[in-house]
Structure formats: structure tokens, C-alpha cells
Structure 1
Amino acid sequence: MKALVVLSHLMTKDGILEVESEARAQLAIDKFSSNKYGCLITIGWAYRDDSTTPIANVVKKHIAEHSAIDEGSIISLTKSRDTVGDAFFCLEFFADLEITELHIITSDYHVKRTKIIFDSIFNSQVVVEVFGVSTLAGGDISIMQHEEQSLEAFFKTFKGVDFSSNKSIFEAISTRHPFYNGEIYDAISCK
């Protein structure tokens, strides 16, 4: 099975997608409508202090309202807090499904990091292809430096991890990653 995953970016407190998130959703609509995918995944948590709505649900609703794609065929994963979580919670979701290809939609400046993280988490067991919407941030040196720093943090967090073991990946995320170990946000635990 080939799956399409759209990574979320930002939204307003009223659940309106900002420009980059909207562009990602539109690319998801275009790709899903013209290719044979087994499923469409939206991903992202309720990250705003002034809203309890997960951005994955907002992206799902936006796609359903702006396309002929049935909302019932779009799956929202709402636990992810960053790209590492996006990859891990996708891996968890697809655990019992025979997935051969994973197509991921993000932004141009985020393609390299997304590809490395998803390839690592999925242990190169599926074909990962990443598509980036065009943004003004692609040429911004501070954004590119942030991407490199985030990649270095990923390598540090997952140093020595056995990517063939979901348990080993979860252990690293839940004990070493500040978004998931209780350092910055509430700690996660096994399902």
C-alpha cells in the first residue's frame, strides 16, 4: 500500500490554517486526487495554548471542505508534537498494515530533515518520498541553520538506537526527547 502523509505547520487560535499549512493541504489534495493512495494521514497535536483543537483535525477538515475527498477516508493522528513524533506515530499507526511507499508533504526547507528522520524511524523498510511546498523560508539562512541544528539534535537523541525495534525507538523518544519526556510537555507513555 502507498500512503500519503501531510505534516502540519501552523494555524490560528480559531482553527484557520496559515499560508504554509494551507499550501501543504492543497498539495495533499492534488496528490491524493491524482494518485492511488491507500490512505491520507493528517498529523499534529493541539499545540496552541489558546485552542484545544489538534491541527491534524483542522487540516483534515480543510482538505474535506476544499476537495472531493471524503472526510471519512482521512485519518488524523493527534499525538505528534514535531517531525520525530510525526515519523514515530506514523510508524505506530502503520505497524499492522503492509505499507510499501510513504509519500510525505511538508515545506521546501524541511524536506531534507523529514527524509532523514522518516528513513531512520522506518528503518529504510519502506520507500520514503518527501514533497515540499515552495515557501519564502527556503532561502532564509536562520531557518536552514535551525533545520541543521534540529537534525543534529535528532542524531544525538537517537545515538545507539536500534531502529528495527519500535520499543527501542519509543524508549529513546520517551526518555531523551524533551517534547515527549516531560521536560517541556507532558511525558508520553506506552499505549
Structure 2
Amino acid sequence: MNKEILIILGSPNASSGQLSAISINRLNYCVEHYQKGNRVLCTGGWGVHFNTSTASHASLAKQYLIEKGVLEDDFLDFALSANTVEDAVKIKPIITKFENSNLTIITSDYHLKRVKLIFNTILKAYALNFVGVKSNLEQDAYNALVQHEKHAIDAIIQNGLYF
């Protein structure tokens, strides 16, 4: 039987290390779908746009997941990335020994289209499932993120994907 690897993409946290609502939504999806024996891979290092705390975003995410019942033994190494392209690039060497696993990429609804574009290119040899967790953001904040994603996708289409 193929094992599932749940991959939670990094998202913002405060400089104090407090996880954002976006992060918690993604992590809660992981907790709800986690079963003992699944592997869990957290992404996210540091970056001005999402994490200026002393701890990596991935370590903050892992701590949250352990508090919610995910077993320590089920975690894979962190992908200490600074953006979505790096997420896919840094995940690749971690998952190579799990070639027959199904990968479930957990992100947010507004981010899903770009994640599919990037991951289907970089990790095309793997069985990929994508989850866009519903964002519970104020409409203005949500619209700003949707606009950012549109520009990022347009840039990839126009300039190609570099990794």
C-alpha cells in the first residue's frame, strides 16, 4: 500500500512566532486528514514577506501539529524554503526515497492555481493531490492575495519557471 505524504506549504507567522489564520487553516486541514503512518512534511524557512521570527516557519508548524496529535515519528525533514518554487525544489530530495507515495500538497484556495503550475512542473514524476483550504479572510485582504497570485502566475507564464 502506498503511503501518503501530507505537505503543508509555509505561510505567514508573526515575528513572535505566532501562526497566522492562513497557517492555522492549512495545519488544521492536515490534522483532520492525518492518519498514523502518514508522513508529514512542513515547509517554510524565513523571509521578510512571511517569517522574521527566530524559528523557521516549518518548526513552528511542526510544533503546532504535534500539539494536535501528529506523531513525531511521522515527520520528514523540513523544506526550509522562502517561496513556492523553493517549496517544490527543496521537497524533491526529501521525498526521493518515497517514490511510490502519494503527495498531498496543502495550501490555501487563493494560492492553489500557482501551486499546481509550479508543482506539476518540478515534481511531475510524482502522484500529486492538491488541496486549497478555504481562506477565512476579510474580502479586501483576500482580493489582494488573489491579485498577487494573478501577477505571479502571469510572470511564470511570461518568463518561464526558473529553479
Name the TM tier (shorter chain). 0.7 to 0.9
- Assess, with a 3 A threshold, how the Cα gap between structure 1 residues 84 and 50 changes in structure 2: closer, same or farther: closer
Aligned partner of 1:83 in structure 2 is 84
Percent same amino acid among aligned pairs?
25
Residue 77 of structure 1: how far off its partner (Å) = 1.7
- Assess, with a 3 A threshold, how the Cα gap between structure 1 residues 126 and 78 changes in structure 2: closer, same or farther: closer
After the TM superposition, which of the residue ranges 128-137 and 78-87 deviates more from structure 2? Answer: 128-137
Cα distance in 2 for residues equivalent to 1:59 and 1:115: 22
- Assess, with a 3 A threshold, how the Cα gap between structure 1 residues 50 and 113 changes in structure 2: closer, same or farther: closer
Cα distance in 1 for residues equivalent to 2:156 and 2:96: 22
Aligned partner of 2:71 in structure 1 is 70
- Assess, with a 3 A threshold, how the Cα gap between structure 1 residues 74 and 53 changes in structure 2: closer, same or farther: same
Provide Cα deviations, 1:142-183, integer angstroms capped at 9, x if missing partner.
32221122123334242xxxxxxxxxxxxx43xxxxxxxxxx
- Alpha carbons 1:80, 1:86 under 8 Å: kept: yes
- Alpha carbons 2:58, 2:80 under 8 Å: kept: no
- Alpha carbons 2:37, 2:74 under 8 Å: kept: no
- Give the TM-score of the pair, scaled to structure 1: 0.72
Task: Name the larger-Rg structure.
Answer: 1
Structure with bigger RCO (C-alpha 8 Å, 6+ apart)? 2
Moved over 3 A (4+): 136-142
The amino acid across from 2:131 in the alignment is: F
- Give the TM-score of the pair, scaled to structure 2: 0.83
Unaligned stretches of 5+ in structure 1? 159-171, 174-191
The amino acid across from 2:82 in the alignment is: R
- Aligned pairs (5 A) from 1:110-121: 110-121=111-122
- Assess, with a 3 A threshold, how the Cα gap between structure 1 residues 96 and 75 changes in structure 2: closer, same or farther: closer
- Alpha carbons 1:47, 1:55 under 8 Å: kept: no
